Structure 1
Amino acid sequence: MNIYSIADATKPYTDYDMIRDHTELPEFPNFRTQLLYTFLRKQSSYADQSELYSIVVSLAQLGLDTHDLVSETNERKEKKEARSRQMKVLAGDYFSSRFYHLLSQAGQVEMTRGIAAAICEVNRLKMNLYSRMRQWKMTTDEYMRFSVDIRMQLYLTFSKALEGLKPNSWHDMLHGYTQCEVLLNELGRIERERDFRCGWAFWHLLQIGTKEERKQLQNGDTDPGKLRSLLHKYNVKATLFQMLETQFKLLSDKIRQFDSEKLVGELYQIGEPFARALTAPRVLEEV
C-alpha cells in the first residue's frame, strides 16, 4: 500500500538551494502530518482541503522547529556558522509566512486564526519547559509530557473538524503517534553528543545518578567516554526501547479497534518506522 506523501507535496515550499547549502533543517514532522492527512480524507466535509491543511500545518511546524535550532548566542565568529545561524532564522520566518500566505489565498480565515492561536500555545508551553529546565526541576515524566504536548498543539487545531469520527479517536491517535515519535527521537539523541544535554536521557541520569554524577552532568564535565559509560551503566538505551515498545503496543491495540481495514492498513504504514526500530536491536542482540 502506497500513501500519498505530504512531505513530497511540501517540497516546493521548503526545498531551496540557498537554505540547503548553508544550514541544516529539522526533520519533516511526517508522523503527525501523514496522520492528519489520513484522518481529514475520511471526513467528507474536509476531504477536498486535506492536502492544503496538511501542508500548511507542516509548514507552521517546520517554522517553529527551525527556530528551535537557532543557537541562543552568536559567540562563534566563523563566517560559515554565522551564515548558518542567520539562515535558520530566515528559513523559520519564511516557512511561517508561507503557511499564512497559502491559507489567505484559500480564504481560510478561521483556520489561520486557529493555527495562530496554537502557535501561541506552543510558545507558552516552551517557556514553561525552559523555565523548569533552568531551575533544574525537570523530571523525565514532565519532559515527556511537555515534549508530546508541544508537538501535538498545532495538530489539535483540527480536533473539532474530526470530532465526527470515532469518539476521541483523533486525539488518541495523535497522542499515541507523538509519544512514539518522541521516544524514537530520544533514541537518536543519545547517539549525538551535541544533542544529548537536556534530552530525556540527560534528565533520567540526573534523577538516578550519584551525587557526583549529577554534579558532572549539571556542570557539563562529562566527556564522550564518560557519557557513554553512564548511558551503559544505567541501561538508558534499553529503557527507551522498552518505553517505545510499550507505547507502540498500546497504539497498535487502538489502531485495531477501527472498523475500516483500509484505515488500519494506512495507520500501520505510518507507524512502520516504530516497528523497524523495535526489531533492529533484537537482530543485533542475537548476532
Structure 2
Amino acid sequence: MSKEHTPYVEEVRVIIEQIYKRSTHSYVEHYVDVPSMAENRLALLYLFLMEQGMTKERSMIFCTATGLVQLGLDIHEYVKNDYERTQSDERNRQLTVLAGDFYSARYYALLAEASEIEAIQVLSGAVQRVNEAKMKLYLAGKDSRLPSAEEYWELRNTIDTGLYVAVVQAYAGTDEKRRFWTNLMKETAKVESVIGEWEQLKWQEQVPFGFARFLLQKPGTTISQVMSGIEQKALEMIGLCEQMVRTLHPVETRNMLATMTARYSHRINRLKRVIEEM
C-alpha cells in the first residue's frame, strides 16, 4: 500500500467532504469568498485522535466540527475594517460576518447531536483564545509595533492551531503525547505560513502581514533579504518536522506525515527553481 493511499488518507477526504456538505449554502457562496480548508491540520488531528484510541466515527465528528469552526474563524478574516460606504460593500461585509457565524453554528449543532458536550466547551474556549490573539496581532501591526519573533510566532500559532491544540490538550492520553502533538501542530503550521508568505512575496510582489512584515521592521532590511530569511526559516522548520516524524512508532502515521512534509519540500524546491529560471 503506497503512502498516498492509506486508509487514513481516504478517511480525511471523507471528513473534508462532510465539512463542505455541512457548510455549503448557495447564498453564502454567491456573495462571499469561502476560504480554503486547513487540510493538513485536519489530517494531523485525525491521526492524533485515532492514536489515542478514539473510534473512527467519533474522530470524524471531532474533526468535522473543528473544521467548521476553523472555516468560521477564517472567513471572519475577510471582514474589512476599512471599506467604501456603498450599499454593495456594506452588504458584503455583513454577509461575511454572518457566514462566519453560520459555519460556527454548524459545529455546535453537530457536537450537540452527538452529545459531545465537553468538546463544545473545549472548542468554544479555544475560539476565545484565537480571537484574543488575532486582536493582539492586529493592534501590533496597526501601530507598526510587531512583537519579537518569539512573540509573533506565539500569537500566529494560537491563531492557526488554537482549535487543534485545544483538542490535543484535552484528549491526549499522556503528557508526552500532549507535548509531541502540540509541537507537531505548531511546527507544521509555521511551515505552511512561511511558505505561503514566500509565495505571496514572489507571485503577488507584495509584503503580507506576517513574518515577512516582522523581518522588514529591522532598519535597512531589503525584500531580497526577507525572501532569503523566509526560505531559511522554512527549510529549518521542515527539517525539524522531519526529525519529529521519525520518532513516531505507528508506521502508517509516520508514512502519512512523511508524505506531508515531503509536499512542503516540493513546494519550496519548485519555487526556488522558478526563481532561478527568471
What is the TM-score normalised by the length of structure 1?
A: 0.83
Instruction: Answer 1 or 2: which has greater helix percent.
Output: 2
Give the percent of matched residue pairs that are identical in Structure 1 and Structure 2.
23
Q: Post-superposition shift, 1:34?
A: 1.1
Residues 197 and 172 of structure 1: CA distance in aligned 2, closer, same or farther (over 3 Å): closer
| 31-40 vs 8-17, greater mean Cα deviation | 8-17
Query: What is the CA–CA distance in structure 2 between the aligned matches of 1:186 and 1:163, rounded to whole Å?
Result: 35
Q: Is 1:112 matched with 2:115?
A: no
Deviations, residues 208-244 of structure 1 (Å, cap 9, x unaligned):
337xxxxxxxxxxxxxxxxxxx523xx3222212111
User: What's the counterpart of residue 10 of structure 1?
Assistant: 19
User: What's the counterpart of residue 85 of structure 1?
Assistant: 93
8 Å CA contact retained: 2:35, 2:71: yes
User: What's the counterpart of residue 217 of structure 1?
Assistant: none
Query: What is the CA–CA distance in structure 1 between the aligned matches of 2:21 and 2:234, rounded to whole Å?
Result: 33
Alignment of 1:187-202 (within 5 A): 187-191=198-202, 196=207, 198-202=209-213
Q: Post-superposition shift, 1:25?
A: 2.0
| Matched residue type, 2:30 | D
Q: Post-superposition shift, 1:56?
A: 0.5
Q: Is 1:173 matched with 2:165?
A: no
Match of 2:34 among 21, 25, 28: 25
Deviations, residues 28-77 of structure 1 (Å, cap 9, x unaligned):
11121111011112222354311110010111111111111100134252
Residues 82 and 278 of structure 1: CA distance in aligned 2, closer, same or farther (over 3 Å): same
Query: What is the CA–CA distance in structure 2 between the aligned matches of 1:257 and 1:125, rounded to whole Å?
Result: 31
Query: What is the CA–CA distance in structure 2 between the aligned matches of 1:46 and 1:93, rounded to whole Å?
Result: 29
Q: Post-superposition shift, 1:189?
A: 3.4
User: What's the counterpart of residue 182 of structure 1?
Assistant: 193
8 Å CA contact retained: 1:31, 1:271: no
Query: What is the CA–CA distance in structure 2 between the aligned matches of 1:195 and 1:40, rounded to whole Å?
Result: 39
Q: Post-superposition shift, 1:267?
A: 1.0
Residues 140 and 18 of structure 1: CA distance in aligned 2, closer, same or farther (over 3 Å): farther
| 164-173 vs 123-132, greater mean Cα deviation | 164-173
User: What's the counterpart of residue 260 of structure 1?
Assistant: 250
User: What's the counterpart of residue 222 of structure 1?
Assistant: none
Query: What is the CA–CA distance in structure 2 between the aligned matches of 1:49 and 1:202, rounded to whole Å?
Result: 41
What is the aligned length?
Answer: 265
| Matched residue type, 1:204 | L
